[in-house]
Amino acid sequence: MMKKRTLLKIIPLVLLFSIPLTATADKDKKSTAFDRVKGDLSVMVLGSGGPVATPAGRASASYLVFIDGVPKILMDAGGGAYKSLAMAGVNIKDLDIVLLSHLHLDHTGDLPSIIKTMYFHNSSYNLSQKPPAFPPGRTAPFRVFGPAANGVPFPPILGADEGVAQYPATSGYVHDHFDLNTGVERYLNVFSRAISGGIFNFEAHDISPNWMAYNPTTITPSGVDGLVIKAVAVNHGPVPALAFRIEYKGKSIVYSGDTSSRKTDMKGDPLKNGGNIIGISEGADLLIYDTALATDTPPKPSLNIFYNLHTTPSRIGEVAHKADVKKLLLSHITPLTEDKIPQVKRLIRAQGYTGKIKAAEDLQVINLSKHD
* 73-122 residue pLDDT tens: 999 999 999 999 999 999 999 999 999 999 999 999 999 999 999 999 99
Summarised one tens digit per residue, pLDDT across range 190-205 is: 999 999 899 999 999 9
In total, the chain counts a number of residues equal to 372
**Cα dist. 58→50, 77, 81, 106, 127 in Å?**
8, 13, 9, 11, 36
Name the domain count of the chain.
1
On the question of pLDDT at 332 being above 90, the answer is: yes
- % of the chain at pLDDT higher than 70: 88
Residue-range definition of the domain harbouring residue 356:
34-154+164-368
Supply the CATH number for residue 205's domain: 3.60.15.10
Query: CA-to-CA distance for 310 and 261, rounded, in angstroms?
Result: 7
CB 37 within 8 A of CB 66: yes
Residues whose CB is less than 8 angstroms from the CB of residue 232 and which lie 6 or more positions away in sequence, other chains included: 214, 215, 216, 217, 242, 243, 245, 276, 277, 279, 280
Phi, psi of 326 (to 5 degrees): -80, -40
CB 326 within 8 A of CB 312: no
Does any domain span residue 16?
no
What order do you get walking across the sheet with 97-99 strand by strand? 202-207, 142-147, 97-99, 70-77, 62-67, 41-47, 365-368
The whole-number pLDDT of residue 272 equals 72
Does any domain span residue 27?
no
**What pTM, to 2 d.p., does this model score?**
0.89
CB 333 within 8 A of CB 50: yes
Q: What is the CB-side half-sphere exposure of residue 189 using CA atoms within 13 A?
A: 13
Does any domain span residue 5?
no
Does any domain span residue 28?
no
Find the helix packing angle between 341-349 and 313-323, rounded to 10°.
50
Mean pLDDT of all residues belonging to the chain? 89
Does any domain span residue 20?
no
Phi, psi of 357 (to 5 degrees): -130, 130
The whole-number pLDDT of residue 163 equals 87
Summarised one tens digit per residue, pLDDT across range 210-266 is: 998 899 999 998 888 999 999 999 999 999 999 999 999 999 999 999 999 988 777
The whole-number pLDDT of residue 115 equals 98
Find the helix packing angle between 111-121 and 81-88, rounded to 10°.
30
Does any domain span residue 24?
no
Does any domain span residue 177?
yes
Report the pLDDT averaged over residues 175-194.
97
Query: CA-to-CA distance for 371 and 368, rounded, in angstroms?
Result: 8
Query: CA-to-CA distance for 98 and 120, rounded, in angstroms?
Result: 17
Q: Which of 240, 244, 214, 242 is nearest to 229 (CA)?
A: 244
Does any domain span residue 17?
no
CB 192 within 8 A of CB 198: yes
Q: Which of 210, 212, 213, 255 is nearest to 230 (CA)?
A: 255
On the question of pLDDT at 168 being above 70, the answer is: yes
